[in-house]
Every structure is written in C-alpha cells, then in structure tokens.
Structure 1
C-alpha cells in the first residue's frame, strides 16, 4: 500500500511540475506579447510628435531624422526583456526580507552580493556613459554625411569625387566603429564581471545552505528555496549590467525626444481661431541671428522694419548674403526672430496656429522640394481629401495646368525616389502651384524664375499679374529687372538692412543712375511716408548698386 501511495505522490509531483512549467511558459508568452503591444502603443502615441520634432530639429535641413531613430530605440527597449528586469528590481528588498527569515547568514551573503553588484553597475555607467554618447554622436554624423552624399550623388559622380567621398566617409565610419567598440569592450568586461560575481554568490549561498543543513539549522528544501530567492535578488542587477549599453542608449534617446518635444510644442498660439487675413504685413524691429552664432557676431537681419499694404506686390532685391531668403522665411514663420515681431493684419504670426496660418500663405522657397507622392498630392499640400477643382485651380493660377496634362498620368503622376524624375523648371512650376493652392491672401516667392526657360518665365509673369489683379499681397525675391518692374514697389536689402524702398520705377531709375541712397527705417515702416517722403529720406552713398541675386 505504501508503495502505491509513493507512486501516486511521484506522479502527482511530476504533474504539478509540468503544470508549473506550462504556466511559466504561458506567462512568458503573455509577458512578451504585452511588451510588444506596449511598444506599439508607445510608438503610436509618440510617432506624430517624434515626426514633428524631426522636421523641426537642428538636423532637419540635412535630412536627419534622429528623433524617429530615437523613437525606434525606445520601442525596441520597451519590447525587450530588459524593461522587465527593471520592473523586477523593486521586488529585490522583499526577497531579501524573505531570506532573512530563512536564515540571517544567507541574508548577509546576498546583501553583500547586492552591494558588490551595485558598485559594478555604477562603475559600468561611469566608464561607458561618456564614451556611449560620443559613439552615438559620431554614428549620427556619419549617417547624416551618407544621406547628404546620396542625395547629391549625381554631382559627386560628375565631378569625379566618388573615391574621395568613400575615403572621407570611411574615415568617419571607422571613427564611429572605434568609439562603439570601446563602449562594447567596457560593457563586456563589467557584464562578465557581474555574471561571475552572481554565480559565485549563488554557489556560496548553496554551500552555506548545505552546511546549515548538515548542522540541522535548516532543511534541504529551505536550502534550495534560499538559492532560488538569492538568484531572484541578484539576477535583475546582473541583467541590468549586461544590458547597460541598451539602457543608456534608450535613456539618451528619451532625453533627446522629450527635449525636442518641449522645444516644438512650447510655442505659443492663440486659443481662438483668428479670422482670415486681408493681407497687410508689418515687420517691427526684427532681428535674426544664424544658428550656432558665436557671441559677439552681428545678426544677419538687423532691426528690420517696414510695412506692406494688403494687395501690394513688392519686389525684394539685393546682393548675395543680404538676407533676402532669410527675410522670406521669417515672414512665413519658417524660422523665429531673436527679437522683433512679424505681424499679419496686426496679429503676431506666433499667435497663429501654424496649420491655420499656412492656409493663408503661399510660399515658394529658393530650393524647391517636392515630396514622395503624386503631383496632385504635392499641389494640395497632402491634404487628406482635397477637392480636385481646387488642385486644378491652383495649377491654372500657376500657369502649369497644360504642362501637367502632358504627363503620362497627369496629376496622378508619382514623383520621388520611386517615381518620375522632373526637371528643375518642372519642379519650380509645380512648387508655384502648391504656393497658389487654396487661393492664399499672401504669396512669398523666393526666386520663382531661377530654373525657368523663356516660356516658363512668361507663365510666371502672367501668374503674378493675375495675383495682383486678385488683390493678393505678393512678395517676390528676384534679380530680374523685368519682374521687379511689374511690382508696385521695390525693397532693396544690403547686409540685413533696408537700403532702398519705394515705387518700383523710382527705385529702378535711381539704381540705373547709380544713386544708391538708403531710406530710413521709419519711412519704410509706413508705406505712405515711404513713398511720399522718399526724396527726403535719402542719404548720399558712394557705392553704386544694381539688382543682384
């Protein structure tokens, strides 16, 4: 009878063990699924913010999308087992208390082990923290350089620069690899040290437990239980040391993402939607410094003040580095002044929500960028459900409708890396149609004829004349006298300051005569004063001026 009972107990023990292992396996599966779902939810919640931060970040102009890479790093960490070891860490003190009740000596051994492993973790952080940041910065710089070379590879190949840039990029890639290898070596050393210390401590706990069993101070079951509990205390610390590089990279990624979010979303905007503007524009004492300017350097835009009446067409001219394109970017809110105010209909543009203000602005930058998608999507500014008639109307205003109809798929033609490649003139005219989309009240066009042939320039002149007749405010940056002559007034910039501002024919006449005479800022700030009192606001200048880019 006793043999049967023992046999049944053995079967029961096996069944309980198998059931326990099955439950453990199911819990691990649930844990992994939960981590993946949590990572996906995290990405969905912060994806838009990270994308916006990437487009507004310091490297956005070079195609750097570091915030999106940072988000991917954070998602990978959340989906990994490393996160759960962090969750296990707070239960360490509870397991230590349990060990004390098992036996104080085992508690003391484990406590000493915890102190040693915490010291190893702190040493690992101190050694790899700075080198990890350097490795990350070097890798990001290497990838940004690769993106720049890839975007301009036709120029690279045409100029015979392939071997040179391979050597240039390879040298920087090697530097990033050396920095990364240094971090890996340090982390591997401390990870191995931590793993060795943990195993030694668990073996020590088993040895002490065996001694206590022989001394009849505890049972064999308690010895194995103590070994398991000791492992639960030490394992999270060991795993954190082993995965410290991933944890550190995730921490740095989180700091960068949150810092950019605060910068992007810290802008102030009106709580109520402002009415559509009429188109009057005023700049008041606007000062702008280039990014990363050294202390003591002069600003690019120097206390600029002038006004434009609604419905006026203003040509902005001046030599290179005068600040013309920067002025255009300030007017449309693409960049922020260090001081001063840009106002539309009396309202500071910083008080407009960007998506609301953008509907009333048409902007064509000096370097026209079209985005992956169809021509129709680019013209409609990627609105979710635009009306076809509005897309066609914008193309017609830009005098590009017939050109688009001549393409194989018309407005549905896909452009971008996987689509049709357009000429510079075609991109410029499609960009102009995008600026006209929605019939905005203010148009800011930076060198809109830079890549146009004679036919395209004639179409541009018709588009500007139609905008003038429609009482739209137009600011046109150009170095073509033929275009400037068709505007109401001309504003000439030099060295970030207004040198001439007055009726187009008068300014062109003065330039032709070599009378390079600056108008005062107060006169420029008031259109009526700037026109009526222009002759009194001029001072003699010895250097002649002409229309320049």
Structure 2
C-alpha cells in the first residue's frame, strides 16, 4: 500500500489544483474580458477551463478507483486468514477489516490526501490579500471551539446510549429464542419490560443530547455558510478602497469557502484516523502460519497429548495443568470430573478448536495446530454441549453448508446418527427449513442432527461434549449405538460425560480434578479405584437431578436380565435422594456424593453422603417403629417420612447415620429373582 501513496498524492494535487480553475476563470473574465469585450480571449479561457475540468474528472475517477481497488484488495487478502483464526478472534478481526476498508474507500483517505495541499489554497489567498488568511484562520478556530463544546456535551449521554442499545439487542435476541408455545408467559413479559425500560432510558439520554448536538451542528452550518459572505464582504471593502479587483474578490470568496470545507473534512478524517490506524496495525500483524499448515489425506486415529498447560491468567491456577496421555486408533476415552475441572477446555484443545498455549496435541504424528482447515474438517468431528443448528435446511446443516453437498453422504450420516427416520417424518424431510420453523425440533433432536453433522465427513476423530445431556433414555440409547458403530469403524472417540449412561462404551477413563489428571487408565481399573470398587458420582441435591440419578443407577447394570433389578435399585435411590433432600436445609445449594457397588449377583449397595447433619435418622426410627406396629399412625409423621417409609420397604437393609459431620444414607438391595451368586462381570 505504501507504493501507492506517491501516485495518490499526485492525483490529489491535480484535483486540488483543478479547484482553482473556476475562481481563476471568473477572475480573468471579470478583469479582462468584461472591460475589453474581447470574445477571443473569452473563448480561449473557456476552452482551457473545460480541458482542465475534463482532465480533473479523469484524474479524480482514477484516484477513486484506486482507493476502491485497494480497499477490495485488502479485504480479499485478509478475509481468508481471518476466517482461519479461532472463532473467538474472528469477530474482532472482521470489525477491524470493515473499519479499515471504510476509511480507505469511504472518503476519509481522500480528505487526508487533500490536507497535504492545503498550503496551496492558503498561499493563493495570501497572494490575493492577507485578510482572507486571517478570515479563514478565525473561522476554523471558531468551528473547532464549537465542535469541542458539542462533543464534550454529548460524550456522557452518547456512552449511555451505546450501552443501552447493546442491552436492547440482548433482550431482543433473548425474546427471539423463546418458544411461543412452551416458554413461560411471565418470562416473556419480564423480557418485554426490560426491553421497554431500556428503550425509554435510551430515549431520555437522546433527549439530553439533542440540544447540544443539534445546536452545535446548526452553529457549524451557519459558520460554514457565512464564510463566503464574509469573504465577499471583505472583498467588497478592498475593492472600494482600490486594493482589489472585482474578479479577485469573486475568486477569493470561492477559494476561502473551499479552504474551510477542506479543513473541516480533514479534521473529521483525523478524528477517525487513530481507530483506522489501530485496525490497520491489527491487520498487518495478522499471523497466519499457512506455510506450517498441511493437508493430510489420511490419519490412523492415534492421539497423543503431551503436557498441555492452559494458563488462566491473573495468578490463578491454570485451567489445564500438565495433561499427558495417549490413545490408540479406535479407542474411546471418557473424561469425567466435577464442574469447572476443565473437561470442556481439554476437549476443545484436543480437537484443535482452542489449542492450549503450552504443550501439544499430536494426531497421528501431526500437531493439530499445524493441520489445515481442510484436514481438520475431514478428519475431526466435534459435537458441543448444545448442538445449535443454523438457519437453513436440515441437509445444509448436516453438510456444514458445503457448496458441493453429497446427498448420499448426508443420508448416510443421518442413518449412522439414528436420525434418518425422524428427518424423513418432517414436513419437507431433509429440505425442511430450520430457520423458518426454529421450534419444530426438540433439543434432543437437534443434538442428533448435530451429531450427524459431526460425522458427515467420516472423521477419524470424534470429540463429544456431554453428548447425552439433552437426551431422554431412547435418545441416549440411540447415541450409544452410534458411538459403538463408530468405534467398530475405527474412529477414535473422546467424550466428556456428566451422566453415566454412556460410560460403558469407554475403553479408558480420564478423571480431571481442578485442571490436572487425578486418574487415567482402562475403564474397569479406574472405576475400581474409585472408593475401593465403588462407582461414584456427584450431583446437586434438588428434584431436577432425579432423572440423572435414575439414569446413573440404571447405567451400572449392563446385563440384559438385570432390568427388574435395575428398576428396583433406581426406585430405591430416588426415595433415598428425596429423603436426603427433604430432611435438610432448604435455603442453600446442596450437593451429595452417590456411591454404588455390587456385592454379588443378587446384592448391591447404594450410599448417599452429604456434608453436614440430617434429622432423617430420628425420623427413620419413628417410621420403623410404625412399620413394626402395622403402619397405624404413619400418616401423622408428615411428608418427610414418606420417602423413608418407601425406602425401608424396598431395601433389605436401610439405615441413616450422622458421623464426622457427614449424613450417610445406606441401603442394600436384593434381587430375589436372581440365581445363586456366581460372580459378576461388572
């Protein structure tokens, strides 16, 4: 771009010099042609002036075309590298690109180029008479003062207006996401109220800024319009004193008005220059290591993670701390851990979506950061926690809006994701427009479609972030079948799990705790190390966790003939969970640890542990006393006793203890229909 500065300055000189054609023509006509009546002189002056104007039009067109092409060139060479950046950086960089393009092609660059030739106008005015230089300086100083007062007065209201506009857009987006059929009406009403409050507040600040803004603009317009009148008045005085000709008076008034306009435009461009310069700096520093990225036609599925560290900043512990492990082709890894332990951060780093600054993720001997976008798309599939779909048809979403969609591949991916039947039942099948009917699909169905999109290119690596979080039992079963099929195809699967329904598919388990690996190894060994063979999970102690609890307990039973045993255990776990919830503090968040283990083929043990004390132990003694008395008087014990009563009836042994500031609900379940113990493969 720097090589264009000299030609553009020359173009700018020609266009600025051409502005003097009209004043000089008028001055010559009034001073020479009118007194002498010489038409030949008039004709010659007219021809020269028209030729100069035509040449100026040609040069001005060339200048504007050059700036437009420079802007388009900058956009074309920057768009690709920007789109190759992580999504979190793309929005800012596209904003910088738009700002730079607008500055170059929007007239600000032309105004700055004109500023270099401002001395030309000042010099001409000085040659005519110094009074015009003083007039221009005075008017410019006055206009600068008015602009400063105006900008100072509207600065605070403008900041509030911008903030409120951002809030308005937020409330509008939230309102658009609400389902008109299922969303609570009070939620819609509250959002509408917030939107109306934001609009009213914005209008109040706009009213405050209207007077200084409009008043300042009016004053500037008046000063701009008075420039030529004042110049004409000064000229008339000088003509009457015999110090200036009539032609020079007309020329000086035109040049003075043009000088003030040029200065005003240049000052406006100078105010936007810092932002444009910052945008250009960001674009110049755009790092695109295309030379280190490579296209790879085939990967084996091997994965190696070497000492990944993801700093948090501010002296806080890192999100990921020295994570290292290896997977063989076709392995399935389950990443588990408490909320905030870094599971999603690790998954995104492994998939190359947000690489860790320190350490490396090697996929089949190739660092994921060095893979081209084409390779990542073809070899890596990723399913986020909520597989949001974009406005467009179902087929377009599955194909990732590929310009060369393959119908066979789309249907194959849908069948693999066990969603082909559901899509075929839609009003227009694969051509159903999700944008036109955003609430046609449930969250679970959208998750299945998003899974089909993740496997559309038949990847060798599939990364799933809590894939079963939005699914019911049937949906979770279908997704588990899909994952099992992918494993059979040799796909390496890494999944973050909160619910235990899919953990049986994992060959290995990695346990994260505050960003570091607390355990890693084969599934049976890791689960075996969890509290001496117990299977553990943690979940919030609230009624909304009951489904997760039931799914987790049911997921511990893997044999086909354990259905009744699993149902009995899940029912008992539900009653124990409710008993713990009802017989404890209700004014603060609570969390429990749930432990499960098989004693043999006919017996299993379930325990729920909560920090603190519970009053349920005393109530349980009363319940058991009533049971021994034939249940009479049981209803007098109240609602809190019902779960204790049901748990006592379901369990072979049920007890509650308060020990070491821990409330422990323990039960043993017996499968009466099972044969004699022969050992379990659990």
The bucket for the TM-score relative to the shorter chain is: 0.7 to 0.9
Aligned with 2:186 (options 139, 160, 163): 160
Query: Structure 1's 424 and 286: CA in aligned 2 closer, same or farther, altered over 3 A?
Result: same
Query: Structure 1's 201 and 195: CA in aligned 2 closer, same or farther, altered over 3 A?
Result: same
Query: Structure 1's 41 and 146: CA in aligned 2 closer, same or farther, altered over 3 A?
Result: same
Query: Structure 1's 142 and 469: CA in aligned 2 closer, same or farther, altered over 3 A?
Result: same
Aligned with 2:336 (options 317, 325, 330): 317
Structure 1 residues 165-184: aligned runs within 5 Å: 165-177=191-203
1:224 and 2:250 matched: yes
Aligned with 1:390 (options 370, 385, 409): 409
SS of the aligned residue for 1:297 comes to coil
1:375 and 2:406 matched: no
Query: Structure 1's 449 and 253: CA in aligned 2 closer, same or farther, altered over 3 A?
Result: farther
Do 1:109 and 1:205's aligned partners in 2 also have CA atoms closer than 8 Å? yes
Correspondence for 1:287: 309
1:266 and 2:287 matched: yes
Structure 1 residue 271: deviation in Å?
3.1
Structure 1 residues 392-471: aligned runs within 5 Å: 392-417=411-436, 421-471=440-490
How many Å separate the matches in 2 of 1:139 and 1:156?
28
Correspondence for 1:525: none
Structure 1 residue 360: deviation in Å?
0.9
Q: Flag structure 1 segments of 5+ consecutive residues without an equivalent.
A: 518-542
Structure 1 residue 158: deviation in Å?
0.6
Do 2:81 and 2:288's aligned partners in 1 also have CA atoms closer than 8 Å? no
How many Å separate the matches in 2 of 1:226 and 1:402?
82
Instruction: Number of aligned residue pairs: give it.
Output: 507
Structure 1 residue 144: deviation in Å?
3.2
Do 1:89 and 1:236's aligned partners in 2 also have CA atoms closer than 8 Å? yes
1:235 and 2:261 matched: yes
Structure 1 residue 367: deviation in Å?
0.8
1:202 and 2:228 matched: yes
Correspondence for 1:483: 502
Structure 1 residue 49: deviation in Å?
6.3
Structure 1 residue 328: deviation in Å?
1.4
How many Å separate the matches in 1 of 2:311 and 2:208?
38
How many Å separate the matches in 1 of 2:171 and 2:409?
39
| TM-score normalized with structure 2 length | 0.62
How many Å separate the matches in 1 of 2:199 and 2:418?
47
Do 1:398 and 1:460's aligned partners in 2 also have CA atoms closer than 8 Å? yes
Structure 1 residues 90-105: aligned runs within 5 Å: 90-105=116-131
1:360-398 deviations in whole A, cap 9, x for unaligned?
Answer: 101111111111222222112222113322223322322
Output the aligned Cα RMSD: 4.7
Aligned with 2:326 (options 290, 294, 307): 307
Correspondence for 1:495: 514
Give the stretch that moved more between structures: 377-386 or 361-370. Answer: 377-386
How many Å separate the matches in 1 of 2:157 and 2:277?
17
Bigger Cα Rg: 2
Do 1:96 and 1:111's aligned partners in 2 also have CA atoms closer than 8 Å? no
Aligned with 2:359 (options 340, 346, 352): 340
SS of the aligned residue for 1:161 comes to helix
Aligned with 2:217 (options 179, 191, 197): 191
Query: Structure 1's 417 and 141: CA in aligned 2 closer, same or farther, altered over 3 A?
Result: same
Structure 1 residue 218: deviation in Å?
1.7
SS of the aligned residue for 2:441 comes to coil
How many Å separate the matches in 2 of 1:500 and 1:479?
16
Structure 1 residue 500: deviation in Å?
2.2
SS of the aligned residue for 1:499 comes to strand
Q: Which has the higher contact order (CA 8 A, sep 6+)?
A: 1
Give the stretch that moved more between structures: 201-210 or 119-128. Answer: 119-128
Query: Structure 1's 418 and 426: CA in aligned 2 closer, same or farther, altered over 3 A?
Result: closer
Give the stretch that moved more between structures: 385-394 or 416-425. Answer: 416-425
